[in-house]
Structure 1
């Protein structure tokens, strides 16, 4: 009869009084101990945690600014859909950034492969979308310029209707030190 040995599995609790926590193993099979992390690995792990914590907090700040902007207007002006509100972009960007950063933060802190894979996939997807968007902007820059011109003329026409639009147009013209699209005469289209 072959003698059987009880072998402690890595990361398992081992109690001499109970046989439930042990497993019977083939005595000829060797199970190595998990590798120890180097000090450099610990440093990288905590830096990744802190970096993601910073972006998580920035995402929450962006989300708070968006929610504050939506609530500050209380009722939206009649006929203006919520999807055209620029504060909604802040809310969505804040939600996305904080969710992805939280996954990276927790994944780095707990060394959770699932969260780290989600974080890596989301960062790669956002990066790929940015590259794709840049290429599309490069290819369609003439049409985009014309569409932007039409949009800015529409902003001049609706300047009096929306306080957010007034603020945006005023800030753009103050920072660019200009008035209108090509000259001050563009404002003559605004009744």
Structure 2
């Protein structure tokens, strides 16, 4: 019995429902790709201070899966409209593999989120003696302190007698004053008072939550897409 004459209303619902779901999945995947690229390019200045590769690993996993999902969702839309069984089955298998991969990336991100405070503190403590001698560490500290408006691990006192200029607030006239002099004078108006540990931990957790939330939303749609693809596969003869 042909698809058009068997459960026509239900079949059309599955057909166009799968098309719409895949369209939404495509948009969600593009959002995930955009968020991960934004994180990699603009928000990776503190990587040297994280003390682990779990965060960057999870971001790259989500980037790759986001690209794959955007391609597979187009494949699913075409398979639904053309009512091709082999395409629907291929779509289901690929989307399931991508779903598992995304789940792995989410688990990595969650594990890192729980350990970020401890690993970052250890990395910051061990990196302070390398400031000024190792370029990557120096740049990471300067960029983190300047962009997050913080200084040291818990306060500017962590730098002792070698406080960086990046701990200085920008004065009104636009010329940065020497932080060492400000440190000696204990000037709270020109030195950032907050320590970088808690500020950076909150920063990383907030961005991980945004990307994780987008990933969870797309993953839920992927489950619905798999259900619809199997149902449509069984209706097509």
- TM-score, scaled relative to structure 2: 0.42
Give the helix-richer structure, 1 or 2.
2
* Larger radius of gyration between Structure 1 and Structure 2: 1
